[in-house]
Structure 1
Amino acid sequence: MSTNLYTINVNLKGRKCLVVGAGNISERKIQSLLECAANVSVVSPKFKTSILALQGHPNLTLITRPFEESDLNGMFLVISATNDRELNSKIGTICNNKNILINVVDKPEICSFFVPSILRRGDLSISISTGGKSPTLASKIKQDLSNQYGNEYERYVNILGEIRERIKTEVKDPVKRKDILNNLMEINLYELIKLHEDGLIKERIHKCISL
């Protein structure tokens, strides 16, 4: 029986993260970590041109040499993505012994976390994970969902967030607050956003809040 994984979103801003390896997979991991404002160190004997092009990023440090165990000192999270399976296993074992979060790209059995396939629409994040069993399936599901949840969801989420903050201030009754927020799901705001019907959007929001 497999262990259930506890799904969380982690704030990596300012956290020290290490990527070991500098291939295509590593490059994607580096980009994702930088997008989350992590402080990223990458260690590898050599780097591809596209990774070297990132060198000016203030949160990125490239270390041109083989991995050393001391590279793990102070790290919050580690991703090992080299083409050396023995080295990846070694790094995974050390990190698990040191209670450092570790993802080894070719050995899910020693990972303490998995990186899901993520569909982002602004502050809306939809994560798809197969627990490391089939990243290809996760990518396919992400593509299917991208057709269902279009770019308009970014604005939709922002509008809902603004309304929620307004209601928290203006409506003191928690039951009424909940009713208003539930009613917002029924007034087809998303369809109006797709049609750029800003006037109707304001009208329906006002009517919903005034009930």
Structure 2
Amino acid sequence: MASPLFPVFADLRGRDVLVVGGGAVAQRKAEALLEAGARVRLGAPEISAALSHHAGEGRIQHLQGPFQAHWLDGAWLAIAATDDQAVNQAVADAGEARRIWVNVVDDAQASSVQIPARIERGPLQVAISSGGGAPMLARHLREKLESELDESIGALAELLARERPRIRARFPQTGQRRRFFDRLLAGPVPNLLRQRQPLAAEREFSAALGESSDTGTRGYVALVGAGPGDPGLLTLRALRVLNEADVILHDRLVSKDVLQLVRRDAQRIEVGKQAGNHHTTQQQIHALMLEHARAGKRVVRLKGGDPFVFGRGGEELEVLRADGIEFEVVPGITAALACAAYAGVPLTHRDHAQSVRLVTAHCKDSLDTLDWPSLALERQTLAVYMGVAGLDALRDRLIAHGRAPSTPFALVENGSRPEQRVVVGTLADLAERARHHEVQSPALLIVGEVAALAQTLHWFGTAPLGEAPLALAA
């Protein structure tokens, strides 16, 4: 059934609006009206301290006493916001007699106009109304859209409003303007405004305005961190970029739950990078990014964890920069932070670890380049990425350089995902424990006194596997 309401955005600047009520709801309505530029008259026997302050400053006019119908004289709109149904109905009846729109808060039947839930981004407003019948649903949708609409949309709306005469002069026909906006909004201008580069955005706008209608749109690439797997750990910016992408180049280890959030019509290309099975080389990934960006596509290079923590994101940006491709980086929650948190392991602890080291150990060559004497020091935490295949060598080298065989470890497999497992023990039996429980990639190894806390602080998934490690010293 279609709504009987007709949506309207009212210009209340310099116009009288009556608010009846003196409590928190009336205060909220009055302050919203002041922001819209209305002249607010507020009628009530008593008003809140904040409203009294506004009246003292001359921002509102306080009509003291019980509601009087003549308060509506000259008003363009009235809002009844008292907790007395009879008073609210009297305001509605008096407004109806004078042909003045009246909103009665939380009473759709008595209202002749509804005040929608609003989202504001500069001059751009999105209003959501349920016709007064389901205000909590409208509020829920507003909160959801609030998280999806970037603040930079306000700056974009201001730019387009300011440049509207130039746009209409350059493209006098509606079809021409529509094609121009399609190119502009898919190009670098919105992205530059997100990056707080307004001058660069204005230069790109002017360049786009001078282009012919058949000029191709330049693409860009976003390096996006997908986190460890739980889609709830994605940033708001990551969600927005995934919903704008034309092409997704994703790692094999990006979870299915995260990929379900991708724009439905986006092209997905798996560029698998898994230990011992690199079916797409890094050079091929570079070539794919360049190919699609040169074709004017919005490309997301979606990586597990964070692009700049053992993700080769720096190499990919260097390739893009050399080719003149616009780019941005959207950080993700790296595995060390997420897996430790989901296993109940604090990476630092006042009593046990004052520093944390992030290490990758996916092959023998990488092991040979590590500073083992410093890694074997006590009172620090090691977070070892991609180390499942080299646990024997890693254990032996740490012990050989002074790390105690009794040092606790926690091996977190599929951290933050429903199938998460945590294997615990001591450094001496690290490799054996991992083989016994058939630990597979992706897994993060945590070595240090804090790893013992997984036994008592675990909160996600099943309890840790393995015998309890030695108790921490007091």
TM-score by structure 2 length? 0.42
How far apart are the structure 1 equivalents of 2:34 and 2:199?
Answer: 38
How far apart are the structure 2 equivalents of 1:55 and 1:202?
Answer: 42
* Correspondence for 2:100: 100
Structure 1 stretch displaced more, 88-97 or 52-61 = 52-61
> Structure 2 counterpart of 1:42, which letter?
L
Q: In the alignment, is residue 16 of structure 1 matched against residue 21 of structure 2?
A: no
The Cα shift of 1:29 comes to 0.7
How far apart are the structure 2 equivalents of 1:163 and 1:155?
Answer: 12
* Correspondence for 1:62: 62
* Correspondence for 1:49: 49
SS, match of residue 119 in structure 1: strand
SS, match of residue 88 in structure 1: helix
SS, match of residue 109 in structure 2: helix
The Cα shift of 1:203 comes to 5.2
* Correspondence for 1:194: 194
The Cα shift of 1:163 comes to 3.4
Q: Is the 8 A contact 2:27 2:51 kept in 1?
A: yes
1:106-145 paired onto structure 2 within 5 Å = 106-145=106-145
1:80-91 paired onto structure 2 within 5 Å = 80-91=80-91
> Structure 2 counterpart of 1:150, which letter?
D
Q: Is the 8 A contact 1:18 1:75 kept in 2?
A: yes
How far apart are the structure 2 equivalents of 1:198 and 1:77?
Answer: 38
Gaps of 5+ in 2: 213-474
* Correspondence for 2:26: 26
Gaps of 5+ in 1: none
* Correspondence for 2:151: 151
Who wins on radius of gyration, i.e. which is larger? 2
* Correspondence for 2:165: 165
Q: Is the 8 A contact 1:114 1:131 kept in 2?
A: yes
* Correspondence for 1:208: 208
SS, match of residue 55 in structure 2: coil
Q: Which has the higher contact order (CA 8 A, sep 6+)?
A: 1
Q: Is the 8 A contact 2:190 2:201 kept in 1?
A: no
* Correspondence for 1:75: 75
Summarize deviations over 1:91-135 as a string: whole Å, max 9, x none. Answer: 212211221100111321121101011110110101011111122
Percent identity between the two aligned chains: 26
SS, match of residue 125 in structure 2: strand
* Correspondence for 2:227: none
Summarize deviations over 1:153-178 as a string: whole Å, max 9, x none. Answer: 11111122233322223445554344
How far apart are the structure 1 equivalents of 2:23 and 2:173?
Answer: 55
How far apart are the structure 2 equivalents of 1:95 and 1:199?
Answer: 49
Summarize deviations over 1:49-97 as a string: whole Å, max 9, x none. Answer: 0111111454510122111122122221111111111111122122112
How far apart are the structure 2 equivalents of 1:14 and 1:200?
Answer: 37
SS, match of residue 179 in structure 2: helix
How far apart are the structure 2 equivalents of 1:157 and 1:163?
Answer: 10
Q: Is the 8 A contact 1:164 1:181 kept in 2?
A: no
* Correspondence for 2:410: none
Count of residue pairs the alignment pairs up: 211
> Structure 1 counterpart of 2:68, which letter?
E
Cα gap change, 1:106/1:17 in structure 2, threshold over 3 Å: closer, same or farther?
A: same
Cα gap change, 1:9/1:174 in structure 2, threshold over 3 Å: closer, same or farther?
A: closer
> Structure 2 counterpart of 1:13, which letter?
R
Where is the helix percentage greater, Structure 1 or Structure 2?
A: 1
Q: Is the 8 A contact 1:156 1:193 kept in 2?
A: yes
Q: Is the 8 A contact 2:17 2:77 kept in 1?
A: yes
The Cα shift of 1:182 comes to 2.9
How far apart are the structure 2 equivalents of 1:59 and 1:50?
Answer: 11
